[in-house]
Structure 1
Amino acid sequence: MITYEFKAKGKLEQYLKIDEAIRICQFIRNKAIIFWMDNPGVKLFEISRSSATLAKEFELASKLNSQARQAATERASFSISRFYENCKSGKPGKKGYPRFQKRNRSVEYKQTGWKLSKDRKSINFTDKNDIGSLKLIGTYDLHYYQTNQIKRVRIIRRSDGYYVQFAIVAERNIDIRPTGKTIGLDVGLSAFYTDSQGNKVENPCYLRKSEKALKRLQRRVSKKKKGSRNRKRAINRLGRKHLKVSRQRKDFAIKMALCVVKYNDFVAFEKLQVRNMVKNHHLAKSISDAAWSQFTEWLEYLGKVYGRIVVGVPPQYTSQNCSNCGAFVKKSLSVRTHVCQCGCFLDRDYNAAINILDKALKQTGYQLASTVGHRSTFNASGEKILCSDLATSVSKIAR
């Protein structure tokens, strides 16, 4: 599935109609949650059927396309099924009980209720909500795909305007060549990540750099009278700045993940419980700004696209154990250098990155042995693997 996004240009009346469609989507989704609460043990497919009943009961809901109503109830079904899965798996902490939406920002159509123009430069929404034709501004060319390949069309409202997304079913044919390289990654705050070769990528700290401007915009919002147009304008400016920071962070995470996956056959990273780590109020802002979860999610996705092996390992003792002899060397978070009795003297993150790679290789049936002056890869039976044969060995792991 490929997602293309375009900026939508229209008139003010059309934007108001889009806002109304988004509110209707939120209304239907919340009604589906109420239906589930009032009918214990109801099946998920019955929740999807409730969209037709809502269209008969409420004139507001009938304005939206039938498949768009189904997509709204599917959002409710997804939150309910996720709640059940968390309960069955015994997930610690909160299980994600379905909540009512208050600030929905999108409406989703399936394969009806919209029509592309012949030049694929505009889209016309044909349901009773009367959004009309919106101009599409972007660099993607939709001529490469047939209309029946477009399975979903979303309208998204953001601080800087409205966007249209196309979810397209298509195969990605990428020329994949083995590189014969393995890498372990240790993410951090001082450096975005440190790899098992000792290389570091600095953390851009986009939120920290924009913090002064964000505080100034926040003060302007607080000074405006509630409900006034000036306050709405100030909120919009603040939202645009936050949106810019989030886009910078996402762009950096994607580029770093793509660079790692392209040039390595085997990638190992540590699976961090970021949700628990941000409970530390002294580090929560820095951890959120680092976007570790976003980076690792893109690593796993791009690994599937490029046919690379991406393995996540538990982070326990990766910083404390010595990568040379395996001895346990206890150190606090403030100690940034690993010093062991065996003579190993390394940067703390570099030591952790080597341990992460070793753990991942063992999980997949391989172990990494250290020798003086160089590091060699061995398989489970103890036979040495040459770098030229590593790509073949990695493909065997995948199978």
Structure 2
Amino acid sequence: MTGRGVSALLTGILLVIGANVLATPVLLYVAALLFALLVLAALFVFVPRRRAQVGRTVAADLLTVGDDTSVRVRVDLRTVMREPTGRWRDGLPAAVHGSATGPFPPDDVERIPGGATMTMSYPISGVRRGLASLGPLRLSTADPFGLFVRTDELGDVTPITIVPQVVPLPRLTDRTGRAGGTAQTSSHRLGQGADNLSPRRYVPGDSMRRIHWRATAHRGDLMVRQEEQESSPDALVVLDRAGARWVTAGGDTDFEAFDRAVMACASIAVHLVDNGFAVDVVDATGVLIGRLRGAEDERDGLLVSLAGTAPRSGERDHGLPAASEGHTVGPLVVITGAIDAADAGTLPHGGAGTPILITTAPGPDALSAAETQGWRAAALGDDPADAWADTGAGEPGSATADAGSAHGAQEAAHVR
């Protein structure tokens, strides 16, 4: 019952009282008219049965933080009466902003026997990474006098993934890792059939696409191209998810700082793979978060994994040495939260070609202690590109040149 309905009900009650006190029967007739009007309005609003199927189509497969997209809602409404009049509102999670409301029925209506099919659309923008849901659709209708309002929840929710933003970073100054270019491993690939320099006999497991037809015709046996020495650069990105490193002064989890770390992790991983590195993204205990070898699906998978990651509660995680143990090829990037000088001064990098430490909350002398250990260390603010440049890993003024690569990663979060 609306405020107008409550007023009508109270007025009817006062009229009944007044009719008895003043001995005026006409007031009873007016009160009876008001009560009848309330009953009819309630029947008009609440009696009709409604069945609806709701479907949503999001223009982007993955919504990136800071980007906009649109949502199309299709409602198949079945009712014995004409479709109700009111307003619709779609449920929006805190991770997105938008104006998901409008008049009902909308302008786009296709009437069919026993109901109607309606289509509404509204824009949304990503404001925070995460796994969320759109809906349910709420339909509010009222009687012609505005005495009662009925709100129906129609249909199910639709999942939506808001992935972290990938920003362009300055080009990596040390592309090969350790001095002299020795950070590229060499391997003899048998049975792989990659682009090669010399032919060899076919063995089970070789790709038929790599058959060397000219050598096969010359020797009379199946021959495949073999690469004598194949370059395989790699990089490791470690995202420290230990809960104790992401705690505010009040004891709460610092989700804002962790979100900045996740954005830096995604940007650095995509930047490294665009620079020719095979990239593994792990947490401090060595658990794999994502693996990048240049395919768009791999980038999507990493971004989806990072969209749902969160700090782990519990004691401080001492797994950083385990994550970097044995990594001696290419860049090693560790992204962490609060770290003091003692931890930074004992953090091993295993002789990595380019050890980089990025922290959202460095303690006093933590950065200098890390640099003494051979790390390129920097504090992470709002822009990962600034921290990347502060480590000395990026060429000054080269972020614009790599903007196309980052843009390509952003396109992976849209409809391909």
Q: Name which one, 1 or 2, has greater alpha-carbon Rg.
A: 2
Please give the TM-score of this superposition, normalised by the length of structure 2: 0.21
Greater helix fraction, Structure 1 or Structure 2:
1
Greater strand fraction, Structure 1 or Structure 2:
2
